[in-house]
Structure 1
């Protein structure tokens, strides 16, 4: 029964992808990647939410609480909530900049504002590099979810099937398919999470579960943990909306006000997190022996839900990973065909991007199978690199005059330092390494921008 329900929803998702193409004929490159900037508030809302609440919501968050205690949730919830006000003010400006420069990708914005080929290449190349772990994150989460639900398939087959489905969604109608499937995915994900949390409360008792779990985990944070949580919230909130796929999602909206309307409603999704905490505490309280902390939520679901509802949980988890994977692919494809290979005619960019997407999926699969890592590590690795774009994006949004070379040196300094500090496991008393690197990025940018001016005004 579980498998039948799961397969039914997957088939329905393919129908939605096909349905999304109706009335649009042969899609131009702009329609394929950013829906010709035609999406209204509802589609932008579901598309953006589909990227934010990914497989990490059902795997990484409960797994982190199971492995590290409830203090882990402070960081996870905090950075998303802090990001939303930034999105409300910056999102419309990102859309306006995209319309001004006819942009499809994040590097298009840098090219349009700064007019620097070197800076465009730096942003394009590092976007691809630091999005590789994000694709690996989705595959790792999918494998953990399906294994946690009792699907004992070889991980190789699971990731290959997942990659094939993600590519199929993209090939049918690009971002339009993602938007339509996001509606189904969000409904399934929310129902799955709420149903599991309610089942825990109904069958085990909320008070009993919290009391039993509190005997095994601590709610206390030491000074180092507090500094890490606070600094990570700030750092990842700044990087949240400069992710290449997040910027591209903004470009799909039909107006700046459309984005404001979606950002106002986004925090409503946070209401499902108490149910995730309850499922995590249930796994702790029952002393469930898990192969991985990432299976915590699904272990609770398997114990408490009927087969048909377990099929829904499986479909919600799978679509959560597949949709984000498709979004990453839709961002990376045009970065290669438009920014790394700028001479490619528009009519060939869409087909070229599909080839790039296949290559990206293969690389992500190889990384997943060769180096299965904790989700926190994968999330941090991507943010270490991507958040370094933040100063350059702010300059674009507010039409400031800063030397392209200064922005380029700042980005490279921040990214290089973040990688070096991470490799050396440097410790700044709990301060997030990425935030330290971002401070260096800003310092290098300021020095490189103003030093030549100061040198010119020095008296002879």
Structure 2
């Protein structure tokens, strides 16, 4: 390590120390009789209210990758990077319709994962396994990207070198994350999300007010950004981007927004955050309140234009050859050291919260839908929890190996591929919450068709730095425009589901047993019984 920014690193470490203490202390926060049950360890006791759930889902959905990647996309291509803003406006009405029904049926039957619901709804362990494995597969590169966010700010702070000297801080961050997640379960990221959101809101508000004063105002920022984006890209010979989408990018912009909105709520980590809520109405309230984060995301995207308008940031990013460093470099060069350290800490904590929830979600999927469903059907709740704790460690370790052993651009594009995969579970999960008309085998066939088409098509895309998995976009068949592969694969998925369902119903193929009832989808939490010595508290010690 050399030329380390001491003040920045000291503040970064101090905030991490506070977060670590909070993470371990969370084991006693709102604790039930025991943590050795997936309802407690993996879902925080299923008792979070509107306030806690808002912070938890915000910390879950708006990650360090978002903090780094959205502005870097604007930095590299202009208006196309803003597709992440409208997709929230599309997604939350879907959450409003789908989320309460999933919460209700999961509460009534004790489902811990969406794959639990699919298995029970359609009477198919195979379909539940497909949904579970898809979720686990999609989580791995997503968790890795949270560690990439930490690595980016460490690099800008001067934590460089080779071998162990370079990676030791990342190992330490991984070790702390693994330790308090293992100990406290979902309560740790829920409590830390308060710190994370407060830091991020503070940094973004200060950035959009202070940085323009250093760059000559918004008129100068947009003018400089427009000039920079109009320059031809050496790799393609075409302009890098523009301040507005055009006829060539409208379809890409729209399909990215729509396809991502379908994936948002069925990502395993999002489902985990939603099922931790204490009541059905908590999901509805949060679907109405969470668009406030879209406002934050819009402000965040503007940092990409600010980075383009700052010559020192542009030079540093070009020298590093990594647009993902645009925001950290901008903060490094514009803010005083103490506030830059706080901003880097916000990005770092913004990585820890979603990484913890994602690892818990992935481990719950393995435990309930692989281990308990196929290997140990008679596993006790304590055994399930122990397995989930161990698998959460393995998931984080796999993500760390991914970060250290593979090219970062591959990680980013595999995360985009994760979105393509997750959307293929939408028919079984979201549509299944309203109707059993799709046949279980048809859903499995549609899933397989969408997964195969999406994976092969994404594999065939290239970029100036990658021969394969170079882009989430490709030509849409029969349309003549470029769009998000996830949406095209989803359309194929649905065509197969409908066609095969009609065929199977015609031959009266067995449909499987539905273990749910219509009133399960409207159920709410029953009032907890009062403890004999305290009429205002439940038997678990929580307020009634």
Shorter-chain TM-score bucket reads over 0.9
Match of 2:113 among 105, 108, 112: 105
Deviation at 1:60, TM superposition (A): 0.1
1:453–1:350 CA distance, 2 compared to 1 (3 A): closer
**CA deviation profile, 1:40-84 (whole Å, cap 9, x unmatched):** 0011110000011101222001111111123321x1212122111
**CA deviation profile, 1:141-186 (whole Å, cap 9, x unmatched):** 2212322343326553343223212212312211111110001001
Taking the TM superposition and a 5 Å limit, the aligned residue runs for 1:187-336 are 187-206=198-217, 207-217=219-229, 218-287=242-311, 288-289=314-315, 290=317, 291=320, 292-336=322-366
Is 1:139 the counterpart of 2:150? The answer is no
Is the 2:307–2:330 contact (alpha carbons within 8 Å) kept by the matching residues of 1? yes
Q: Distance in 1 between matches of 2:303 and 2:160?
A: 22
Is 1:83 the counterpart of 2:84? The answer is no
Is the 2:106–2:275 contact (alpha carbons within 8 Å) kept by the matching residues of 1? yes
Q: Distance in 2 between matches of 1:83 and 1:376?
A: 22
Structure 1 window deviating more from structure 2 (366-375 vs 115-124): it is: 366-375
SS of residue in 1 equivalent to 2:483? coil
Is 1:437 the counterpart of 2:469? The answer is no
Greater helix share, structure number: 1
SS of residue in 1 equivalent to 2:424? helix
Deviation at 1:327, TM superposition (A): 0.8
TM-score, normalization by structure 1:
0.94
Q: Distance in 2 between matches of 1:371 and 1:223?
A: 35
Deviation at 1:456, TM superposition (A): 6.3
Q: Give 4+ residue runs of structure 1 displaced > 4 Å after superposition.
A: none
Structure number with greater Rg is 2
Q: Distance in 1 between matches of 2:389 and 2:144?
A: 19
Give the corresponding residue for 1:394: 430
Q: Distance in 2 between matches of 1:14 and 1:366?
A: 22
Q: Distance in 2 between matches of 1:440 and 1:336?
A: 28
Deviation at 1:188, TM superposition (A): 0.7
SS of residue in 1 equivalent to 2:341? helix
Is the 2:106–2:117 contact (alpha carbons within 8 Å) kept by the matching residues of 1? yes
Deviation at 1:111, TM superposition (A): 1.5
TM-score, normalization by structure 2:
0.80
SS of residue in 2 equivalent to 1:163? helix
Is the 1:135–1:364 contact (alpha carbons within 8 Å) kept by the matching residues of 2? yes
SS of residue in 2 equivalent to 1:402? coil
Q: Distance in 2 between matches of 1:277 and 1:419?
A: 29
Structure 2 unaligned blocks of 5 or more: 1-6, 230-241, 462-473, 510-544
Q: Distance in 2 between matches of 1:175 and 1:224?
A: 43
Taking the TM superposition and a 5 Å limit, the aligned residue runs for 1:169-188 are 169-188=180-199
1:129–1:275 CA distance, 2 compared to 1 (3 A): closer
Q: How many residues align?
A: 456
**CA deviation profile, 1:100-157 (whole Å, cap 9, x unmatched):** 3211112111112112111122112222122222112212222123223433265533
